[in-house]
Structure 1
Amino acid sequence: MFVLGPSLLSLALDSSLSLCAPPRELYSPLLTEKILQTALASRATQYPQYTDRVAGDWLYFAPDTWTSGFFPATLYAMYTRARLCNWDTENATQWLTLGRQWSTAEVPLESNNSVGHDVGFLSYPFVEELVINPHNETAISAVNRFASDLAARFSSVVGCTRSWDTPNPIDFQVIIDNMMNLEVLFVSAGLTGNNTLREIAISHANKTMRNHIRPDGASVYRPFQQKTWIESDVIAKFTAQGYANWSTWSRGQAWGIYGFSNMYKHTGHLDYLTTARRMAAYFLTHLPTDGIVPWDFNAPLDPPRPADSSAAMIAVNGLMLLSQQERSLSPANDTGASYYQNAAMQLLRDNTQLAWRPEWQSLLANGTVDNPQGNNLTGIVYGDYFFVKAGNDLLSMGVASC
């Protein structure tokens, strides 16, 4: 049984972390209005990824982009919201119809895409469709083909799926984001009975656990390069979006919390739960006093480091998933579950208060796409998706109401 250490236990029992109400913006009519306006104003042939920094208007990209699954997945999440909140049937049907329409331009990517490992993110709306209609052949085909695409990137020598193709065939890069893409392997394995997909996910998670996570629980962004096709050594560990190779990029840390919590959910392997706890501990104990998630936990304070609301929302979802896994233990770890749930709620409130921008097309502002490239202080489509998903999960958990 996992027992919280003294510092985390004191946080769990601290009245300041008692379960607070979710931010009212999470269930605001304006949230619904904004998403609907975007869905109806565009033709679903290009996808919003992030906004400009002034007016907050969406910038659109071709379907062959790693983020293109998030907006249609948000529309499916709104269908779920309609069901959870007992909205009328016509309203719910509208969201489902829009989700299906917005997924259509993704279908050709099943056989031809350039996103590498991120096919898992492309699969999100099709996975959501299967929850609604497990017999939908379009969704079944999409999930299975995206899973096959990801599995084809697996090297038994390295034990991981390759992130991107590189000019040097023995240069094998693996990033922490890959942990989020493993879900499609489990879903496809459930559809097909192909246990190899499950084994690939486990191998990748085991190698990531061994090579991406520092002793203090912080994540490394890109750790591997493969030396030969018959043996593999880690010869470089470095960042692309963080402040420095030794620092901790907050979105990568959030991917890890969620990814390892999800691996425990699928396998019951306690090492994954332990890793998720370690990564969550680092994230929560390195937050500034105002609770706002910075782009990088170790970036200098002068000049002021930008926030990343998308990292915050991913971490909120990861912490809630971790809380659920603590309650699934036998006996349940109620102390740990309450701690992670309370921390998620506080993180959600603090970062929504900063990032909610009524006049923008996105739900949230203050996101950082890629700070080294100067792409910060924007709305981000995956930040919005995880914001809506957090609201749905709280409703499903019975700790919020519409």
Structure 2
Amino acid sequence: MRMLWCSAALRLAFLLPTIGTSAPSPPTELFSPLVAEKVLRTALSPPTPAQYPQYTDRAAGDWLYFAPDTWTSGFFPATLYALHARAQLCRWPAANAAQWLALGRRWSAAEVPLAADNTVGHDVGFLSYPFVAELAVNPHNATAITAVNRFASDLAARFNPVVGCTRSWDTPNPVDFEVIIDNMMNLEVLFVSASLTGNKTLQNIAISHANKTMQNHVRPDGSSFHVVEYNATTGDVIARFTAQGYSNSSTWSRGQAWGIYGFSNSTSPTLSLYMHTQHPDYLTTARRMASYFLTHLPSDGIVPWDFNAPLTPPRPADSSAAMAAVNGLILLSQQERSLSPPNITGSTYYLNAAIQLLGVNTKLAWRPAWQSLLANGTVNNPEGNNLTGIVYGDYFFVQAGNELVSMGLMSC
């Protein structure tokens, strides 16, 4: 397993020379006053009836809003909770911290009914983000506990034991069982609910899904398919293809980032695939996917929408994929350090790679005049939705800053 990160470090040295030689510095924009100012401005102007920002227009960078029953609606309230966590990390005044917590709870309110009735399907894991964050503040919050458990039940109901996965997209023919790499991000709600209820079935569903994803989504070179279609009756793989990438044989960067994050997730020892199971394949898979991501970056280090898309016409960047990958790499670094004995070399390598990726992509995407924190995001390039700010890119940007402070690598 150690050969993987050593080999990756050697290849990456040609692309990002600072990695492995000296520690890069995180971008100062992470703690710019504009971060709190812009998020607060949006939080204090909620639409009526309740709607949630998802992405911006391409000209002025103004948020476009969507109904609560949308897969991205959990990210803005989760960002408010992340700024509450930052207020504590940075020792901001107590009143300031209380304001962020109150805003997080207020913006989560329109999501509460979704726990009983939603059309989001597999992405209930993303809806659960603010409620999981609330439980970190108040583990006894009954509303948050109920929401997390109901969202987990929704996801578990999409599990097919023959396929071994939770269904992602519904299809006209129920025998066609489609699973997307994004679903690695939704497994966390199953682990959280299992820790709340003691329901081991939820944990087993998450592990089964991760195992099948390793087997059928991840290619031998560490790249990934976006979609794997199974036969719901036999469990056989019918097809592997893309919906948001360049081609069926290419690697969509945000899907690759979801994989790095999902297999590296070490939010706590009880929620981590690897830390909970001690199954070395999860860590090995995270390393392989990280290696592909880092060694297939262009020379400028900007994350493209798809690693294999042609350069002409110019392929758009995706800052949201970059920020998701940054957080996944930080989690992978923490996993390496948690081993016994710790893999300090591997941990340092992934951490430096994360900070380098963060700096380069922040520099390109930072837009002081926009309502979003970052621009240059690609929502869905085949549909022409690119060059925007994206709410989940902003969320992972704020989270990256919090992680670096909590690790003692940055000051507020």
Q: Shorter-chain TM-score category? A: over 0.9
- Aligned residue for 1:164, secondary structure, equals coil
Could you tell me which residue of structure 2 aligns to residue 327 of structure 1?
337
Match of 2:89 in 1: 84
> Which residue of 27, 34, 37 corresponds with 1:33?
37
| Pair 1:328–1:304, CA change in 2 (3 A) | same
| Ranges in structure 1 where 5+ consecutive residues have no aligned partner | none
- How much does 1:11 deviate? 6.1
Partner in structure 1 of residue 46 of structure 2: 42
In structure 2, the residue corresponding to 1:186 is in which secondary structure? helix
Matches within 5 A, 1:288-303: 288-303=298-313
Q: Which amino acid aligns with 2:252?
A: W
Aligned 1:97-116 pairs, distance under 5 A: 97-116=102-121
Tell me, in whole angstroms, the C-alpha distance in 2 between the residues paired with 1:52 and 1:100.
27
Residue type at the aligned position of 1:32: A
- Give the CA deviation at 1:7: 3.7
1:24 equivalent to 2:28? Answer: yes
1:341 to 347, 351, 354: 351
Amino acid at match of 1:34: K
2:4–2:288 contact (8 Å) kept in structure 1: no
Question: What CA distance in whole angstroms lies between the structure 2 residues aligned with 1:401 and 1:160?
Answer: 42
CA contact (8 A) 1:49 1:58 kept: yes
Match of 2:140 among 135, 139, 142: 135
Structure 2 unaligned blocks of 5 or more: 266-272
- Equivalent residue number for residue 259 of structure 1: 262
Q: Is contact 1:258–1:315 with CA below 8 Å preserved after alignment? A: yes
Separation in 2 of the partners of 1:153 and 1:227?
11
- Out of 138, 160, 164, the position equivalent to 2:165 is 160
Q: Which among 250, 254, 257 is matched to residue 253 of structure 2?
A: 250
One-letter code aligned to 1:31: V
- The 3-state SS of whatever aligns with 1:174 is strand
Tell me the equivalent position of 1:207. Answer: 212
Partner of 2:269: none
Matches within 5 A, 1:300-379: 300-379=310-389
Residues 176, 232 of structure 2: 8 Å contact kept = yes
| Cα shift at 1:312 | 0.1
1:392 to 2:408 alignment: no
- Distance, in Å, in 1 between the alignment partners of 2:320 and 2:26 is 17
Q: Which stretch shifts more, 5-14 or 120-129?
A: 5-14
Structure-1 separation of matches of 2:366 and 2:304: 16
Looking at structure 2, the residues matched to 150 and 4 of structure 1 have their Cα atoms a distance apart, in angstroms, of 33
Q: 1:303 to 1:15 in 2, by over 3 A?
A: closer
* Matched-pair contact (CA < 8 Å) for 1:293–1:309: yes
In the alignment, what sits opposite 2:181?
Answer: 176
Per the TM alignment, residue 267 of structure 1 is displaced from its structure 2 partner at its CA by 2.7
Corresponding position of 1:2: 2
Contact 1:126 1:140 in 2 (8 A): yes
Which amino acid in 2 is paired with 1:222?
V
Listed one character per residue, the Cα deviations across residues 35-63 of structure 1 (whole Å, up to 9, x for unaligned) are 00000011471000000000000000000
Using the alignment, how far apart are the partners of 1:340 and 1:211 within structure 2? 25
Q: Shift of the alpha carbon at 1:12? A: 7.9
Q: Which amino acid aligns with 1:342?
A: N
Whether contact under 8 Å (1:286, 1:297) holds in the other structure is: yes
**140-149 or 39-48: which moved more?**
39-48
Q: CA deviation at 1:166?
A: 1.7
Moved over 3 A (4+): 3-7, 9-15
Q: Hey, what's the Cα distance between the residues in 2 that align with 1:89 and 1:5?
A: 43
Could you list the per-position Cα deviations for residues 212-260 of structure 1 after superposition, in whole angstroms to 9, with x for gaps in the alignment? 00111001011122152xx211011110000000000000000000001
- SS of 1:290 mapped into structure 2: coil
- SS of 1:236's equivalent in the other structure is strand
Per the TM alignment, residue 5 of structure 1 is displaced from its structure 2 partner at its CA by 5.5
Measured in 2, the distance between the counterparts of 1:38 and 1:196 equals 40
Q: Which one-letter code corresponds to 1:29 in the other structure?
A: P
Query: Which amino acid counterpart does residue 284 of structure 1 have in structure 2?
Result: L
Give me the TM-score of the superposition, normalised by structure 2: 0.95
8 Å CA contact 2:5, 2:287 repeated in 1: no
Equivalent position of 2:76 in the other structure: 71
CA shift in 2, pair 1:200/1:5, >3 Å: closer
Could you say which residue in structure 2 is the equivalent of 1:234? 237
Aligned to 2:292: 282
Q: Quote the offset at 1:132 in angstroms.
A: 0.5
Aligned length, in residue pairs: 400
The residue type paired with residue 395 of structure 2 is Y
CA distance in 2, matches of 1:205, 1:227: 17
Shift of 1:171: 1.2
Letter in 1 for 2:73: S
Q: TM-score, normalised by structure 1?
A: 0.97
Whole-Å separation in 2 of the counterparts to 1:186 and 1:3: 31
